[in-house]
Structure 1
Amino acid sequence: MNADLMCRIDAYVDEVWEDVVADIARLVSFPSLANADAARPGAPFGAPVRGALDAALGIAERLGYEVSDDDGYMGIADIPGERPEQIATIAHVDVVPAGPGWVTDPFTMVRREGWLLGRGVIDDKGPAVLSLYAGAFLKREGIVARYTFRALLGCDEEVGMTDVHHYLDRHDHPLFLFTPDAEFPVCNAEKGCFGATFTTAAVPGGLIRSWSGAEATNAIPGESVLELNLDASVLPAPMANADRISIEPVAEGVSRIVAHGIGGHASLPEGTVNAIALIVGYLRESGVLGDGAAPVLDLLASIHADTAGAGIGIASESAAFGPLTCNAGTIRLVDGDRLEQTIDVRFPDSITEADLVSACEALAGRFGASVEVSRAKPPFSVDASSPQVQTLIDIYNDTTGRDAKPFAMGGGTYARNFKSAVSFGPEDNALELPAWAGTMHGPNEAAKEDLLREALKMYIRAILELMELEYDEAR
Structure 2
Amino acid sequence: MRKKTDAYLEQKQEELLKDIRELVRIPSLHGDVQNCTAALEYVRRRAQDFGLKTSMTAEKDVCVIELGDGPETVGVLTHVDVVGIGDPQKWTYPPLDMTIDKGAIWGRGTADDKGPVMISLYVLRAIKELGIPLKKKICLIVGSCEEGIWTDMEHFKEQFPAPDHGFTPDGAFPIYNVEKGYADICLTFSEPEGCRITRLLAGDSRNTIPSRAVIQLKGGEEITYDGISAHSSAPESADNAIIKMCKDREKLYPFNFMKFIDRFLSDCHVPQLKLDDGTEFYNGEYAGKTTAAPTVISAENGVVTVNVNIRHRFGNTGESILARFREHEREYNFKARLIECQDPIMVSEKLPSLRLMQQVYESYGHKSEFCLAPGCTYAKALENFVCWGPFFPDDVDRVHMEDECLSIKTIMEAAKIYAAYLVLDGSESGPERPEQAES
Aligned to 1:357: 322
1:430 deviation in Å? 4.8
Residue 199 of structure 1 aligns to a residue whose secondary structure is: strand
Kindly indicate whether the alpha-carbon contact (under 8 Å) linking 1:87 and 1:149 is maintained by their aligned counterparts in 2: yes
Aligned to 1:414: 378
Counterpart of 1:9 (choices 5, 12, 16) is: 5
Kindly indicate whether the alpha-carbon contact (under 8 Å) linking 2:191 and 2:256 is maintained by their aligned counterparts in 1: no
Mapped partners of 1:80, 1:379: distance in 2: 33
1:84 deviation in Å? 5.3
Shift of the 264–205 alpha-carbon distance from structure 1 to 2, 3 Å rule, reads: closer
1:23 deviation in Å? 0.5
1:34 deviation in Å? 3.2
For residues 280-336 of structure 1, what are the alpha-carbon distances to aligned partners after superposition, in whole Å with 9 as ceiling and x for unaligned?
11123x2x32xxx353321121243211122433254323321112121000103x1
Aligned to 1:426: 390
Aligned to 2:23: 27
Mapped partners of 2:233, 2:38: distance in 1: 29
Aligned to 1:75: 63
Mapped partners of 1:401, 1:53: distance in 2: 33
1:271 deviation in Å? 2.0
1:159 deviation in Å? 1.1
- Code of the residue aligned with 2:342 in structure 1: it is K
1:449 deviation in Å? 0.8
Kindly indicate whether the alpha-carbon contact (under 8 Å) linking 1:182 and 1:425 is maintained by their aligned counterparts in 2: yes
Q: Give structure 2 stretches of 5+ with no counterpart.
A: 432-439
Counterpart of 2:241 (choices 258, 275, 278) is: 275
Mapped partners of 1:296, 1:97: distance in 2: 24
For residues 15-58 of structure 1, what are the alpha-carbon distances to aligned partners after superposition, in whole Å with 9 as ceiling and x for unaligned?
011011000001000110232xxxxxxxxx52211111111111
Aligned to 1:58: 45
Provide the aligned C-alpha RMSD in A. Answer: 1.7
Kindly indicate whether the alpha-carbon contact (under 8 Å) linking 1:325 and 1:410 is maintained by their aligned counterparts in 2: no
Residue 140 of structure 2 aligns to a residue whose secondary structure is: strand
Aligned to 1:332: 298
Aligned length: 421
Counterpart of 1:148 (choices 137, 157, 176) is: 137
| Deviating 4+ runs (over 4 angstroms) | none
For residues 345-383 of structure 1, what are the alpha-carbon distances to aligned partners after superposition, in whole Å with 9 as ceiling and x for unaligned?
111113333321221111223322211111122111110
Give TM-score, length-normalised by structure 2: 0.92
Kindly indicate whether the alpha-carbon contact (under 8 Å) linking 2:9 and 2:126 is maintained by their aligned counterparts in 1: no
Counterpart of 1:117 (choices 90, 106, 119) is: 106
Mapped partners of 2:354, 2:244: distance in 1: 42
Mapped partners of 2:210, 2:237: distance in 1: 13
Mapped partners of 1:465, 1:320: distance in 2: 32
1:205 deviation in Å? 6.4
Aligned to 2:146: 157
Matches within 5 A, 1:295-334: 295-315=256-276, 316=278, 317-318=280-281, 319-334=285-300
Matches within 5 A, 1:40-439: 46-71=33-58, 72-81=60-69, 83=70, 85-100=72-87, 101-204=90-193, 206-231=195-220, 255-284=221-250, 286=251, 288-289=252-253, 293-315=254-276, 316=278, 317-318=280-281, 319-334=285-300, 336-402=301-367, 404-428=368-392, 430-432=394-396, 439=398
Shift of the 200–442 alpha-carbon distance from structure 1 to 2, 3 Å rule, reads: same
Give TM-score, length-normalised by structure 1: 0.85
1:96 deviation in Å? 0.7
Q: Which shows bigger deviation, 323-332 or 136-145? A: 136-145
